Structure 1
Amino acid sequence: MTKKTYALAGLGLTTLLLASCSGDNVEEIQSAVGEIDQIHGNIVDEMNGLSEEEMNLQTTFDEALASDDQMSTFADGSAPVFENITSRRDRIETISSLREDFESQEEIIADYDGESLSGEELSGLNAKIDEFSGQLESFTSNYETSLTAQEDYFTSIGSEDATYDTFSNGITELNEQTAANKEELVQLDGSLVEVKDHITQVQEMIQSTMAENE
């Protein structure tokens, strides 16, 4: 996934313009959209970090194999690959928490009943967040399953009764799970772009509304 930099466009420049719209709840909507934009950026950062750590796993695994011919660090869970798994699991938990934050801000937007802002555009943003949130929930659940499988595999190859089949068959299974995760990542990447487009459209609408009420 290509890392992108996102900015909260103009949020600090329009506070005084909100006075005439305060009765229409525009300020609260602006704040919610700003939070959504920030959460979106945080998710992008976590997803990129997850991808980077996943790419490092192979190198970490190869180094562990080269330095531990008895596989004792795999058996006792001290091999660096387990630290890599823990780090990625922490990122998955963070992403899940960010998804919940997304939904909290979505509820604020859904409650808007004023007339200054376009209900259609707000609903469009919420619909896109709903779609993305569902994709993200599926991804984090599947990724957590794959992390557990990786943990079990690395432990199994350190056991006394491990065989070549233990090593080979496990690698095949993990590769299949990784391929499935990557397919979901491609979908998520596209959805992140679409969510950002909707955020930008709503922010521009809010700016236009405030300008009209100067």
Structure 2
Amino acid sequence: MTGSAEPGEGDGRVAERVRVLLVDDEELVRVGLRMILEAQPDIEVVGELRDGGGAAEAARESRADVVLMDIRMPGTDGVRATAEIAREAPGSRVIILTTFDLDEHVIDSLRAGASGFLVKDTPRAELVAAVRVVASGDALLTPSATRRLLAEFVRVAPPAARAPVAGPLTAREQEVLAALARGRSNAEIAADLVVSEHTVKTHVGSILTKLGLRDRVQAVIYAFEQGIAAVPGRRPG
């Protein structure tokens, strides 16, 4: 997928650059992001917007791989814009930018289809790495962030309605999904189940396909909404 290889890697051909769309109402933030990203040989900023309105259309027309999306903007905010992108430009993945770290707005954006979130004071190297990770098709959610997300999710977010499961999960897939919801990494799940990391990745891919979910973030949220994993701090029954 676009952005998954370093420039010049492999057979000598130049890898296609990761295409990034910036959506933030603060011009200085957009300028800073552009300077950081365009200093990278494998990343190209293909557009800027100061409002979430029109972000889905811009993402589709620019063929953006990644959208860096401010969560709080006048007009159309990041949550609504993320939902529109997920629906109208599914080839573009959203990273939410927030000043306030993890709160109910971030949770709403993840539910809407974002592939991860970053605080605006994230070091530049981590920002660049995050863009590459999400462009490669992975979700930007570390095990520690998963655990914080779930604790906050339980505190502020009411259950959301979900369509019936698209296909039945096997017993092993249910184990893997529950482990994802506990914030376990692929390596930790592999060790727990005494299988290879490749096998775990295969199970995760199957889970996403059967449930009609975009990525690991959506799988974690689904697991909690469906009661597949124990809620932190909540007694069963």
Question: Do the two structures share a fold, i.e. TM-score over 0.5?
Answer: no
TM tier relative to shorter chain: under 0.3
- Name whichever structure is richer in strand by fraction: 2
TM-score, normalized by length of structure 2?
0.25
Provide the TM-score with structure 1 as the length reference.
Answer: 0.27
Structure scoring higher RCO (CA < 8 A, sep ≥ 6) equals 1
Larger Rg: 1
More helix by share: 1
